[in-house]
Amino acid sequence: MIGMEAVERLAGILDKRNVEWEIYWEEGKSASFRIERERIERAQWKFYSGIGLRVGLNGRVGFSYVTGLDHDEKSLFELVKRAEKLARIGSRPFRGFPTREKFPRVRGLYDKSIDDLDFDEAHSLAGEFVERMREMRGERGEYTLAGAMSFGTVRAGIVNSNGIEGEEPRTGLAIWAYAVKKNSRSGSGYASQSYTTLEGVHEGEELIRRAMNEAESSQRAEKIEGFSGEVLLEPQVVEALVYLFLENLYGDSVYYSRSRFSVGDLGKSVLSGNVSIIDDPTLGFSPGSYSFDGEGVPGRRKVLISRGELRSFLLDHTYGKLLGLDSTGNALRDFRSIPRIGTGNVLVGRGSENLGDWSGVVVSKVFGEHTANPVTGDFSLTVELGYVVENGEATPFSGNMVSGNVFEALGSVSRVGKELERRGSFYSPRIVTEVRLV
């Protein structure tokens, strides 16, 4: 049993009740630093912990939580009674809790160097990032730089009435850089990345450089004439389209008919034969990785789309059962919430194309993904930055709208690059497909 007194006492109380139960707990700490005009303007040192409890009664589930891990018998008993009451009056379906399976060994989830950082050491690393900003800005007064750096450790554990028991520490580092270039007109650039180890601090300089280069291109960018046809999409744009598409693969969306697909569509061709999409929370040293999900189901690599064919949905235990399928280990949560379906690391399969010699329109960055409709697939996104490449020369543009339908855009992919780029927990090559620019 997990060596935590409150969790053990809570499990003891629950074992005497006529309920199925699940305890999920967390304790974590984080240090974050906000940078404005090459100065640390805000610093925060935060600790948090808590216990989330789910109980199943008569086909319904109730959930309650408490903050902190130090609780007496009375407060734990009150936690149980609240969860039971919510199960009696609630409407959330309950199809049992998962049973115990062996968890995979996932490398690189935890870095003791991050966990051991005290506030002063974390502040010093953020200060070094600021110094690199100042050095790279130098005498170029037309640039203003900002950014952030954060470090975090979380230990999460789960135990349930079906014998599941797991505990796992994870660490994280996130860095972003923002550059504004002003002269007769202004331009801006942004670059970010996340890591599971402290080694990521060495990439701060590259992120600053990317943000500055993007700001320079943005400053020169003008809106171009409308265009309809094949364009090259950079990974940030591919990410926007893929996550819009993936909302149709969430088990709850499928069950409640908020998805274009049903269980009967498994095995059918739904996208271009050049498109494959994988969800893999077992990748080593990747921010989206875990050995077990928020219900204690082992993390698993699963092929969602194989050469255009629908192979799997993203499922937690409940919606897997409701659809007649097994959980895919995609229940995500914190102690304050019930599990929700999400992704681990999403990978778009690489192709064999170089695409470095592409001539034509390139769309690099967009915004406005929240306005898209995942069921119809229609989108209209603002181009933050793109390029028109002619005779090897790239002319930046911005302000156009790129519009289309995600099922058609991912269904007409004609070329796929062979180089993968990582953006946090998303991995993708560049792709060529058909959209409209207005």
Residue 377 has pLDDT above 80, yes or no: yes
Residue 74's φ and ψ, nearest 5 degrees, are -65, -45
pLDDT tens by residue, 189-205: 999 999 999 999 999 99
Question: What does the DSSP 8-state code read for residue 37?
Answer: T
* CA pair distance 271, 259, nearest whole angstrom: 15
Query: Is the pTM of the predicted complex or chain greater than 0.85?
Result: yes
Which tens digits make up the pLDDT trace of 103-119?
999 999 999 999 999 99
**Helices 73-89 and 5-15: crossing angle, nearest 10°?**
50
β-pair partners for 62: 55
Whether the CB-CB separation of 428 and 242 falls below 8 Å is answered with yes
Q: Could you tell me where in the chain the CATH 3.30.2290.10 domains are found?
A: 5-218
CB 405 within 8 A of CB 437: no
Task: Determine the Cα–Cα distance for residues 323 and 254; give it in Å rounded to an integer.
Answer: 8
**What pLDDT shows up at residue 141?**
77
Which pLDDT belongs to residue 279? 98
Three-state DSSP state, 53: strand
Confidence at residue 33, expressed as pLDDT on a 0 to 100 scale: 98
List, for residues 23-52, the tens digit of each pLDDT value.
Answer: 999 999 999 999 999 999 999 999 999 999
CA 428/CA 399 separation, integer angstroms: 24
The CATH code of domain 5-218 reads 3.30.2290.10
What DSSP line would sit under 115-163, residue for residue?
HT--HHHHHHHHHHHHHHHHHHHTT-TTEEEEEEEEEEEEEEEEEETTS
Q: How many CA atoms lie within 13 A of 13 on its CB side?
A: 22
Say if residue 1's pLDDT is above 70.
no
365-394 average pLDDT score: 94
Q: Residue 3: which pLDDT band, with cuts at 50, 70 and 90?
A: very low
